[in-house]
Amino acid sequence: MSNLLKTIQRHCQMHLRRGLSIRGRATILNVLILSKLWYILRVIGAPVHTFHSTLCSIIIKFISHQMFPKVSYQTSCLSGAQGGVGLLDPITQQNALQLRWIIPMLDEPATLSEHILCLTHYMDTSSKFDPDHCLLLLDHNTRKQHVLSTASPVSIIYRTMDQLSLTYPYPFFITIAIALQLPATSIFGIHPDHHPKS
């Protein structure tokens, strides 16, 4: 990962010579520099504290080059209408890319592709509590009991489920057994429009 950061930094230095506007630098970051990172973040992931903090530092130095006052990272990630430049945040992008794994895992078992079946099988067999993968995805407390290496692709999926405030506007499949194991707070968190009758 350190080689990847050095490559990103080298590309940023190269593009600084072009005399681009702040919007131009944001476009260069989104299209040419950070686009090479998205596949790695989807498959391997990156340590949030070390990799992402260094990456954000490189990004903000590039975006705010020869500017005073410097534009904050959070402001850069806002849309143009909100006063930002539409910079793609790597952590948000990593979470969005993980949804490409998560959404199919909540589908009916008969419709799962082979790579999703392998991932769900790994989740089901690697837990000492032997819960269903849907329970691991939907219940934070069950995920906390399933300790994994930070390098595991499943740990990235769990981190995404913990970080994102997810609502599910599409139908998904869970068995009655899973529904009975979910705490009521998880059920109402998943379906915010459904409230218990008083």
Let me know whether 113 and 83 are in one domain. no
What residues contact 144, with CB distance under 8 A and at least 6 apart?
A: none
197 within a domain of the structure (yes/no):
no
The pTM of the full predicted model, rounded to 2 decimals, is 0.70
Domain boundary among 42, 62, 88: 88
What range defines the domain where residue 113 resides?
95-190
User: Which of 87, 118, 102 is closest to 164 using CA atoms?
Assistant: 102
Let me know whether 99 and 183 are in one domain. yes
Q: What is the DSSP letter of 90?
A: H
- Asked whether 41 and 97 are in contact (CB, 8 A), the reply is yes
Let me know whether 65 and 111 are in one domain. no
Domain boundary among 55, 88, 121: 88
Let me know whether 77 and 116 are in one domain. no
- The domain tally of the chain equals 2
pLDDT per residue of the chain (198 residues) written in tens, 0 to 9: 788 889 999 999 999 888 889 999 999 999 999 988 888 877 776 666 788 889 999 999 999 888 888 888 898 999 988 988 999 998 888 888 888 888 887 776 667 778 777 777 777 776 665 567 777 777 777 777 766 666 677 777 878 877 765 555 556 666 666 667 666 665 555 544 444 444
Let me know whether 77 and 100 are in one domain. no
In Å, what is the CA distance from 145 to each residue of 18, 79, 140? 51, 38, 9
Let me know whether 63 and 117 are in one domain. no
In Å, what is the CA distance from 56 to each residue of 34, 65, 126? 11, 14, 34
Let me know whether 110 and 157 are in one domain. yes
User: Which of 156, 146, 141, 155 is closest to 186 using CA atoms?
Assistant: 141
